[in-house]
Chain A
Amino acid sequence: MPSLGADMEHGKVVEWLVKPGDYIHKGDLVAAVDTDKTVMDIESFQEGVVAEFLVDIGDTVDVGTPIARITATPAELPPPPLTSGTISPNARSPLTAKEPTPAHPRGEAAPAGHGAKVPPPVRHLAHTLGVDVGRISGSGTDGEVTRADVERAAAASVTKAPAAPPVVAETPAAPAAETHRVRSSPLARRLAAELGVELQAVAGTGPGGAVTEEDVLAAVPPRGRAAKEPAAERPAEAPPSDTPQPEARPEPLAEAPGRKQPTAAGGKAESLRQAIGALMSRSKKEIPHYYLSTTLDLAAAMAWMQAANQQRPVSSRLVPSALLLKATAVAAKEVPDMNGFFTKGTFQPSSSVHLGVAVALRHGGLVAPALHDADTLTLEELMVQLRDLVGRARAGRLQRSEMADPTITVTNLGDLGVESVYGVIYPPQVAMVGFGKVLEQPWAHNGMLGIRQAAIATLSADHRVSDGLRGGRFLARIDELLQAPEKL
């Protein structure tokens, strides 16, 4: 279970996007994982054949827990002495199991009763490749199984029948787990979790008896929805000391009056609130924030944007946020003390700017996924990616890297009416930029008073990394960049 963000402690596998026997490349999406915040697709960190799943759909496991075993293909095996063909090099994100879990002993136990002699290094290789040595007839002295035998068997099983169970080492999976696996659509599972419906208790009417969205809805008595306890579905708790503090950061949606909170989303909103509360508490405890603000002169930027938009069809019009985000990304690239991670007592500036964008979710709460390499995007590209990102964030479909990568975050509450917002830094990031509403304001310039479009930009930054001088330069740079919008 990879870490999908600094605040993530566990995740729930809600969907497998591959099946045992599938050949996958590094970077292929393998599973959808539900964190307290959103559902994200996670990718494989290595190439190989999916041998087995180590957790079931619906299981919640801690970050770092192996969730699937991937066997290396013979073609890419490192030469002997063989150390680790299947081990994820990314220790932070172990997708694969290095050792069998105690519940599923394999490899070592397999040849018992078969009598074939298997030298330990060969046994290790067999284990690594997911080959059952008990099924191999040895070609060595006294029928001893050799390294070549194992490699042949591995190659055969990969090429012959990738989907067949023999690819998997010995025990396919814990049989007990099978009884908990219910065929169901991803939407049905999400709905079931939100409504507090036990999927196992629902009779499926879909293909192959799969539980569909309708089946889940049918299983909930119309009046019973409110009575269901969605929290029961949530195995996660924030650390007890971390009392959620909704007031720790401005929440545009959660507390807005008049906004209905559909029951179906109540459980999710609540767990999201806890996750935000825990992370923001941690931020306020650990990060010595300092705050700056400046008023951006947006006359040039807004005039340029309005002229540009007149030439454009609706689908490619820009919004002021796009200009603000781009200027922030470029400034962050130039002032590296704002852009990077503070971990283990030191600051590592990032050479790329992955701009986190705080997105208010409709049922309350927010997520801040990344626009990758935002400083290198044209305004048009940034606009397209922003719309895609916000759409997927609200639909609950973000990718792991989008959640884990932001190097600095922007919150743009001005879009919903406030004049200024002082954000709380997302650990391990070191800065948070806030933009208020774009307003017409009286503006003194060269001894004359005029009216200009303006907005208040704020910076919350980490005093362990920078001080007000550097932070002020960063904000001033954003303003400067916005004076030449055509160059953004």
Chain B
Amino acid sequence: MNEQDARQAVEAAIGKVAPDVEPEDLEDGARLRQDLELDSLDFLRLVEVIAEGTGVDIPEADYPAVATVAGLVTYVAGHG
């Protein structure tokens, strides 16, 4: 999956899990927990939505790699 598609999938997934997050909040460096205020249940749902949408399953051991918007995009692009 190219980076563009991955970014779209990530933005759509975040929009679904946290509808109040504004698109302009989704900067590369934005941290999902601290900046976007996703809690562990939101995060689990996000991982789930991304798996449904892209087929990319993020195992728990890889959670640290997807802690930011950019990290998540890169991960999805690399595994999809």
Interface residues of A (CB under 8 A from B): 252-253, 256, 258-260, 262, 306, 309-310, 313-315, 317, 319-321, 360, 362-363, 386-387, 390, 415-417
Q: Is the CB of B48 within 8 A of A415?
A: no
Chain A residue at smallest Cβ distance from B40: A319
Q: Which of A259, A317, A363, A415 contacts B39 (CB 8 A)?
A: A415
Chain A residue at smallest Cβ distance from B18: A362
Q: Is the CB of B35 within 8 A of A314?
A: no
Residues of the B chain whose Cβ atoms lie less than 8 Å from the Cβ of A262: 20
Residues of the B chain whose Cβ atoms lie less than 8 Å from the Cβ of A317: 44, 47, 60
CB contacts under 8 Å to A, within B27-80, are 33-35, 37, 39-41, 44-45, 47-48, 51, 57-61
Query: With contacts A260-B22, A309-B60, A317-B60 known, what are 13 further pairs, Cβ within 8 A?
Result: A253-B37, A262-B20, A306-B61, A310-B60, A314-B47, A314-B57, A314-B58, A317-B47, A320-B40, A363-B20, A387-B44, A416-B33, A416-B37
Tell me how many residues of B have a C-beta within 8 Å of chain A: 21
How many whole Å from A296's CB to the nearest CB in chain B?
16
Most buried by A among B39, B45, B59: B39
Residues of the A chain whose Cβ atoms lie less than 8 Å from the Cβ of B22: 260
The 10 nearest A-B residue pairs measured at CB: A319-B40, A415-B39, A314-B48, A362-B20, A309-B60, A415-B40, A314-B51, A314-B47, A390-B41, A315-B48
Interface residues of B (CB under 8 A from A): 18, 20, 22, 25, 33-35, 37, 39-41, 44-45, 47-48, 51, 57-61
Whole-angstrom CA separation of A386 from B48 in the bound complex:
16
Whole-angstrom CA separation of A306 from B20 in the bound complex:
30
Chain B residue at smallest Cβ distance from A416: B39
Q: Is the CB of A258 within 8 A of B41?
A: no
Q: Is the CB of B59 within 8 A of A310?
A: yes
Q: Which of B33, B37, B51, B57 contacts A259 (CB 8 A)?
A: B37
Whole-angstrom CA separation of A417 from B38 in the bound complex:
11
A387 and B59 in contact, given A262-B20, A363-B20 (Cβ under 8 angstroms): no
Residues of the B chain whose Cβ atoms lie less than 8 Å from the Cβ of A252: 37
Residues of the B chain whose Cβ atoms lie less than 8 Å from the Cβ of A363: 20
Q: Is the CB of A319 within 8 A of B44?
A: yes
Whole-angstrom CA separation of A306 from B60 in the bound complex:
7
Whole-angstrom CA separation of A204 from B35 in the bound complex:
40
Whole-angstrom CA separation of A314 from B57 in the bound complex:
8
Whole-angstrom CA separation of A262 from B22 in the bound complex:
10
Whole-angstrom CA separation of A363 from B19 in the bound complex:
11
Q: Is the CB of A386 within 8 A of B41?
A: yes
Q: Is the CB of B41 within 8 A of A321?
A: yes
Give me 20 A-to-B residue pairs in the complex whose CB atoms sit less than 8 angstroms apart, sorted by A's number.
Answer: A252-B37, A253-B37, A256-B37, A258-B25, A258-B35, A259-B37, A260-B20, A260-B22, A306-B60, A306-B61, A309-B60, A314-B51, A319-B44, A321-B40, A360-B37, A362-B20, A387-B41, A387-B44, A387-B45, A416-B33
Residues of the A chain whose Cβ atoms lie less than 8 Å from the Cβ of B20: 260, 262, 362-363
How many whole Å from B34's CB to the nearest CB in chain A?
6
Residues of the B chain whose Cβ atoms lie less than 8 Å from the Cβ of A415: 39-40
Residues of the B chain whose Cβ atoms lie less than 8 Å from the Cβ of A386: 41
Q: Which of A259, A260, A314 contacts B44 (CB 8 A)?
A: A314
Whole-angstrom CA separation of A144 from B38 in the bound complex:
71
How many whole Å from A219's CB to the nearest CB in chain B?
22
Whole-angstrom CA separation of A227 from B48 in the bound complex:
40
Q: Which of B25, B34, B41, B61 contacts A319 (CB 8 A)?
A: B41
Residues of the A chain whose Cβ atoms lie less than 8 Å from the Cβ of B51: 314
Whole-angstrom CA separation of A321 from B22 in the bound complex:
27
Residues of the A chain whose Cβ atoms lie less than 8 Å from the Cβ of B59: 310
Residues of the B chain whose Cβ atoms lie less than 8 Å from the Cβ of A320: 40
Whole-angstrom CA separation of A313 from B60 in the bound complex:
11
Chain B residue at smallest Cβ distance from A317: B44
Q: Is the CB of B35 within 8 A of A417?
A: no
Residues of the A chain whose Cβ atoms lie less than 8 Å from the Cβ of B57: 313-314
Whole-angstrom CA separation of A319 from B48 in the bound complex:
13
Chain B residue at smallest Cβ distance from A415: B39
Q: Is the CB of A360 within 8 A of B39?
A: yes
Residues of the B chain whose Cβ atoms lie less than 8 Å from the Cβ of A258: 25, 35
Whole-angstrom CA separation of A286 from B34 in the bound complex:
35
How many whole Å from B43's CB to the nearest CB in chain A?
8
Most buried by B among A306, A320, A415: A415
How many whole Å from A75's CB to the nearest CB in chain B?
46
Chain A residue at smallest Cβ distance from B45: A387
Residues of the B chain whose Cβ atoms lie less than 8 Å from the Cβ of A306: 60-61
Chain B residue at smallest Cβ distance from A362: B20
Residues of the B chain whose Cβ atoms lie less than 8 Å from the Cβ of A362: 18, 20, 37
How many whole Å from B7's CB to the nearest CB in chain A?
21
Whole-angstrom CA separation of A258 from B35 in the bound complex:
8
How many whole Å from A467's CB to the nearest CB in chain B?
33
Whole-angstrom CA separation of A415 from B44 in the bound complex:
12
How many whole Å from B64's CB to the nearest CB in chain A?
12
How many whole Å from B27's CB to the nearest CB in chain A?
11
Chain B residue at smallest Cβ distance from A312: B60
